[in-house]
Chain A
Amino acid sequence: MGKSEKSVTRREFLKTAGVGLAVGMAGRPDWLAAKEDYDLAVISGSPAAATKKALEAMGGISRFVKKGQRVVLKPNMSFANPPDRASTTHPAVVVTVARACLEAGAERVLVLDYPLRKGELCLERSGMLDAFQSLRGVHVLALEERKFFREIRVPQGKIFDRMEVMTEVLESHVLINIPQAKSHSATGVSLGLKGLMGVIWDRYSFHSKYDIDQAIADLATVIKPRLTILDATRALVSGGPGGPGKVVKPNLIIAGTDPVAVDSYAVSITPWYDQNFKGRQVKHLLAAHQRGLGKIDVEQLKILKEKA
């Protein structure tokens, strides 16, 4: 990640700190509770409008993307299904985020995934290519070759000490995860954390050899999206990850910087497989939380709920 902090003089620092301290002791008045203080923004509405509003609610895209930065967007484009099957992120959500990144002055925006089915088919039938046709300066790519991945160490890994991750994800300044809300036969739900398996090469060993829940937590220790924008405008609540299965329409976009919190909240918005769950009941979320990667209890989150 690039350095973008400006240097601060000691005097400025003290002044600011002093003011901050005073405000802190006085108790924080509402008007100071900037939108950045919310853990989550939960916006209901159509995919594009809700996404736009969610970005504003999180303090605007400029909080995450600075001028000249290279951005990777990671939606779920894993299946060659149309958006109404709810197995892939709605293209309108991704386009909205991409456009905002460009407006914020991003040098380059790449939309990447390593799909489960034939890449070109996925990009086409998920509607992604069509949606991005009019947006110049954004590349939508399915990376299916090992040469586009690079091995990194996983210092805090319990299962993996190494993983091969998309080189572009490692070298870009900002990663924004834009997962689709869906059920998953092996991990219960596939939301943000599970969706990040789409940036690594050898994901099959997750399923066949190892404890997949701990493996996902391992992954979350090294791949940290600056922002997660979860598409729950439609949710595949059974038959996931590929479907077909039962699709419900929560009409929600859930955005936040804490990947565990976003996922945990998403677990609570709808029954999965006709049963109600909490984030804490999802093994991989619990594992990630237990490793200190994010908050899991929805009651402790500051949530901004609005309509777009």
Chain B
Amino acid sequence: MRTFIQALSLALFSLLFFFFANYKLPDWLPADIYLRLDPLLGLSAILSAREWIGRAAWSLILVGATLIVGRFFCGYVCPMGAVIDFLDPLLGRKKDRAGLKKETAWRKVKFFVLVLFLSSSLAGLTLAYLMDPLPLLTRFYTFFLYPLVVTVVNLFLDLLRPLARALGWMGLSYRHYTQPVFYMALITFLLFSGIIALNRVTPRFWCRYLCPLGAFLSLISPLGLFKRRVSPECNECLKCVKTCPMGAIEEDPKKTRLPECIQCRSCSRVCPQQAVSFPALPSTVRRRQLGGEYSRADLSRRGFLYSCAGGLTAAFLTDRTPFTPVRGKHQLVRPPGALPEDEFLRTCIRCGECMKSCVTNTLQPCFWESGLSGLWTPKMDLRFAACEQNCNVCGKVCPTQAIRDLSLEEKTHAKVGTAILLKERCLVWSQDKLCLICDEICPYNAIVFRTIEGYRRPVVIASKCNGCGFCETRCPVGGTSAIVVVPDGEIRLKEGSYIKEAQKLQLEFKADPGDDKFILESSGFKVGEKEPPAKPQRPAVPPEKAPGKKPAGFL
């Protein structure tokens, strides 16, 4: 039953990820629901941004449920837990696993991690994403699994193609999915594999010792209704002790480490005496009946202080680097609707949903570009791909609204930067060649041709450029594009309308056809011949004569 619910939850997570987190996402569907439900993400983002985040309210559902039921999330809902459980058979027999010597001491680690993350958040540095299972798994899905799945599916389709063609199934014969690619794929993969490999030491190693979300939920679980109870029938066969995936049963099988119990009820299933049950008991009765350890976070005062100090030190170290003062002059082009850089870094939980959903694949994870505090944050790689003007999905799927959920019209006005021409690289400026690609591709008519010293040269009109980057992507110059988008002039608002802001700045992201008159002379029209010449310079090919196979001797 539990496995079934786990599988269902993982399936839902995967379904939302693979099929709904894309530009077609309807407004009412929260494809990022798992991330929104995560109270640790919400809390740490709220603490570090010092702002209320609307979508974090969803996590109250999970908090409430945990208060009532107990720490059920880890055993039933958590997709990371499901992945760990389902991959467990790959790691060999449970018997052969060494386990940890100082078991109880290790259990405290997750609480230290939790305290460390929350204290660093208080100091303005988001770290929860490093180890919170939901962004961790979403990242793994985005940067590794998604590209892999597309590759495999395409391989399969290629194999199927001859058959599909023979049968005349046209849709299938031409089915192909664009291969997504991401930086940081290898690092993400290695981290994830490491977490899975840790379970070789002991089952659910991650959940037992490291997971900060598990720690958070276990802290709020003591009021939960369902608690393990062992009846006197128990013959101390210790089967339950060996089975418990969390190691939550002490040497005395009648006792339970309640904060560790994820209510999977494996113990009650394996018990030959049927002595284990999970009755719903009001807390007063429970205290009397269960006795022993009822709920206490295994966190010493010293440990608490050390981890607090650790979090603050981490925040200090990442903050006091040259990256911080130059943040205002940073080189990165952030997605449209991204909060101002400081708030953005504090709010973004690095889940990768925006990058998965991005229709053109331009959104890529940062490595070191803005320091440690910018790891995995989304940037636009506009040489690789441009930002599609008819898509606004990155904001829709952002669980903490580090990228704001904007209408298409608002998003168009959320200028991400300005294109600048590198004249020494430009074919037209430096080599007097005829090239119009940037002008032709620009969706906003922000590039025009002007006569400068007798030549027609491309010029960027900054007030019309919203930084979408089509020019940079398509520029035919090898290597660095001759026209690049820099964050200059970006509009980043915590709140309020981008349209109004753009109006205030006298920007206009629409076509003004009038500017195109410059195109004429360098375009395919022969402008010199506005009036048909009195004598056509050459008689046309006589229509009676069948067109010859050879070109008719011109030029």
Contact = CB atoms under 8 A, between A and B. Distances in A.
A284 B550 contact: no
Given A156-B550, A156-B551, A297-B540, A273 B517 contact: yes
A242 B525 contact: no
B552 A139 contact: no
Given A121-B391, A244-B445, A186 B513 contact: no
B445 A245 contact: yes
A156 B265 CA distance: 78
Given A139-B174, A239-B511, A292-B541, A184 B440 contact: yes
A283 B388 contact: no
A265 interface: no
Interface string B529-555: 110100010001101000111111011
Contact of B513 (A110, A209, A246): A246
Interface string A175-187: 0000000011111
Given A239-B516, A246-B513, A292-B541, A186 B171 contact: no
Given A80-B388, A185-B436, A238 B516 contact: yes
B175 to A, nearest CB: 9
A300 B513 contact: no
A187 B524 contact: yes
A299 to B, nearest CB: 11
Interface string A276-308: 111011111010011111111100100000000
Contacts of B445: 239, 244-245
A188 B390 contact: no
Interface residues of B, number: 52
A295 B178 CA distance: 41
A207 B552 contact: no
Interface string B440-455: 1101010000000000
B540 A242 contact: no
B523 interface: yes
A242 B443 contact: yes
A225 interface: no
Contact of B552 (A189, A214, A278, A290): A290
Contact of B359 (A81, A121, A145, A276): A121
Interface in B162-184: 168, 170-171, 174, 176, 178
Nearest to A236: B513
A113 interface: no
Contacts of B389: 80
A141 B170 contact: yes
Contact of B524 (A118, A125, A283): A283
B370 interface: no
Contacts of A201: none
B178 A208 contact: no
Contact of A284 (B176, B476, B524, B530): B524
A241 interface: yes
Given A80-B388, A185-B436, A278-B532, A141 B174 contact: yes
A282 B525 contact: yes
A188 B476 contact: no
B520 interface: yes
A143 interface: yes
Contact of B547 (A81, A148, A280, A293): A293
A125 B24 CA distance: 11
A214 B443 CA distance: 27
Contacts of A125: 390
A10 to B, nearest CB: 24
Nearest to A39: B543
A1 B445 CA distance: 42
A183 B171 CA distance: 32
A292 B548 contact: yes
Interface string A202-214: 0010011100111
Contacts of B436: 185-186, 207
Contacts of B525: 188, 272-273, 275, 277, 281-283
B262 to A, nearest CB: 41
A208 B437 contact: yes
A108 to B, nearest CB: 7
B336 to A, nearest CB: 16
Contact of B170 (A139, A238, A293, A300): A139
Contact of B516 (A185, A187, A276, A290): A185
Interface string B473-507: 01010000000000000000000000000000000
Contact of B511 (A108, A207, A241, A243): A243
A118 B548 CA distance: 40
B554 A290 contact: yes
A144 interface: yes
B301 interface: no
A80 B435 contact: no
Nearest to A183: B516
B2 interface: no
A117 interface: yes
Given A121-B388, A185-B439, A185-B440, A274 B517 contact: yes
Contacts of A147: 158, 176
B23 interface: yes
Contact of A118 (B171, B388, B547): B388
Contacts of B513: 237-239, 245-246, 273
B117 to A, nearest CB: 38
Given A118-B359, A273-B516, A292 B547 contact: yes
Interface in A257-278: 272-278
B510 interface: yes
B435 A244 contact: no
Interface string B282-317: 000000000000000000000000000000000000
B508 to A, nearest CB: 12
B551 to A, nearest CB: 5
B360 interface: yes
Given A156-B550, A245-B513, 8 more contacts: A148-B174, A183-B516, A187-B523, A207-B437, A238-B513, A245-B516, A282-B526, A291-B551
19 contacts: A80-B388, A124-B24, A156-B549, A184-B440, A184-B523, A185-B519, A185-B523, A187-B523, A208-B435, A209-B476, A213-B524, A239-B516, A242-B443, A245-B516, A246-B513, A273-B513, A282-B525, A292-B541, A297-B540
Interface of A: 80-81, 108, 110, 116-118, 121, 124-125, 139, 141, 143-145, 147-148, 156, 158, 168, 183-189, 204, 207-209, 212-214, 237-239, 241-246, 272-278, 280-284, 286, 289-297, 300
Instruction: Give the top 4 A-B pairs by smallest Cβ distance, nearest first.
Output: A292-B547, A188-B524, A244-B511, A208-B476
